[in-house]
Amino acid sequence: MDNRQGGIQQLLAAEQEAQQIVNTARNEKMARLRQAKEEAQKEIAAYRSQIELDFQKKLAQSSGDSGANVKRLEQETEIKIENLKTEAARVSHDVVSMLLKQVTTAQAAAK
């Protein structure tokens, strides 16, 4: 009689233990899935910082380029204006003479 009782106790204990083993596994699974979210966040944050870093580098480089472009443009403009003034000085006398001649020549033709 005692053995039978003992036996049933053993079986019940085994069932309980079994349940615990499965529950533990289930809890660990849930913890693992939470970990997935946490680790994902970390990876994402690291990715974002890297991309941001690259972006800022590119930005700094391109603003350096634009600065150089602006300078080049300004220089080209100055050269154009200088050439213009030189050319103007060269032709000014002739232009003035031409204008005066036209003003002082009155073509008096009958219409």
Interface residues with another protein (CB under 8 A) are 3-4, 7, 10-11, 14-15, 17-19, 21-22, 24-26, 28-29, 32-33, 35-37, 39-41, 43-44, 47-48, 51-52, 55, 58-59, 62, 66, 69-70, 73-74, 76-77, 80-81, 83-85, 87-88, 91-92, 95-96, 98-100, 102-104, 106-111
What's the CA angle centered on 81, arms 75 and 86, to 5 degrees? 125
- Residue 97 CB, shortest distance to another protein, in Å, is 8
- Residue 12 CB, shortest distance to another protein, in Å, is 10
- Going by the DSSP 8-state scheme, the letter that residue 71 receives in this structure is H
SS3 109: coil
Q: How far apart are CA 107 and CA 12, in angstroms?
A: 133
Question: Considering just the CA atoms, what is the radius of gyration of the chain in Å?
Answer: 47
